[in-house]
Amino acid sequence: MRLVLVGPPGAGKGTQAQFLAAHYSIPHIATGDIFRANLKAGTALGLKAKAFMDSGELVPDAVTNEMVKERLLGADLEKGFLLDGFPRNVLQAQVLRANLAQKNSPLTAVLELSIDNAQIISRLSSRRTCKECGLPTSAQEKCPACGADLYQREDDRIEVITRRLEVYEEQTSPIIAFYRSQGLLITVSALGSVEEITQRAISALGADS
């Protein structure tokens, strides 16, 4: 199973990625983890990325593409992988397709978690985070895990969420059409409990597993 997970911020991609990767016994590859690993190891690509990040600029596609390409050479990917956070635009999707074609290991499917903007804004703007343990929760006063005070993260404010959704529509949503045209796209609703969404996704992917 070689899978890409896509969807807007707040769709629950990180949570579903963990459950789906465990179900299919494949590594969960998050681009944030790749960046952190390269930065920590001080690789040539990590140093390139750091130079852009330190100057407040976005890391260019070329650097991100190379980091992902190297990760996809990992010996632990024999059974497949689940990519989370990549590709973020059509150019990256095209580079990914070319890299996998070289290995004769094309994508199995692209899973889209679908949820409308109103639901996302409601979900994220009501979220609070524990000051002590970092648990995200829908509680509004005390952490249900440790009882500490909660706060609202800056990126959970309505105006910030709205802008993040605009950026997603501008930059990332075109890859939905890209993968739909290749017959790879499978769309499932991101509404319901975590367990319901996971089972919905597994059912939809079943024929491709």
Distance CA 94, CA 84 (A): 16
pLDDT in the model for residue 148: 93
Catalytic residue among 13, 71, 123, 128: 13
- Whose tokens are 């367990």? That residue is 195
Catalytic residue among 71, 123, 127, 128: 127
pLDDT in the model for residue 120: 92
Assigned token pair, 35: 């960046």
Active site residue 13: yes
Active site residue 97: no
CB-facing half-sphere around the CA of 30: CA atoms within 13 A: 10
Active site residue 128: no
3-state secondary structure of 2: strand
Q: State pTM to two decimals.
A: 0.83
Q: How confident is the model at residue 196 (pLDDT cuts 50, 70, 90)?
A: very high
Distance CA 160, CA 177 (A): 26
> Which domains occur in the chain, in start order?
2-208 (3.40.50.300)
Active site residue 131: no
Active site residue 123: no
Catalytic residue among 50, 69, 97, 164: 164
Q: pLDDT (tens digit, 9 = 90+) per residue, 112-151? A: 999 999 999 998 898 899 999 988 888 888 999 999 999 9
How large is the angle between the packed helices 117-125 and 158-167, nearest 10 degrees?
140
Catalytic residue among 88, 97, 180, 200: 88
Q: pLDDT (tens digit, 9 = 90+) per residue, 40-78? A: 898 898 888 888 877 767 788 898 899 999 999 889 998
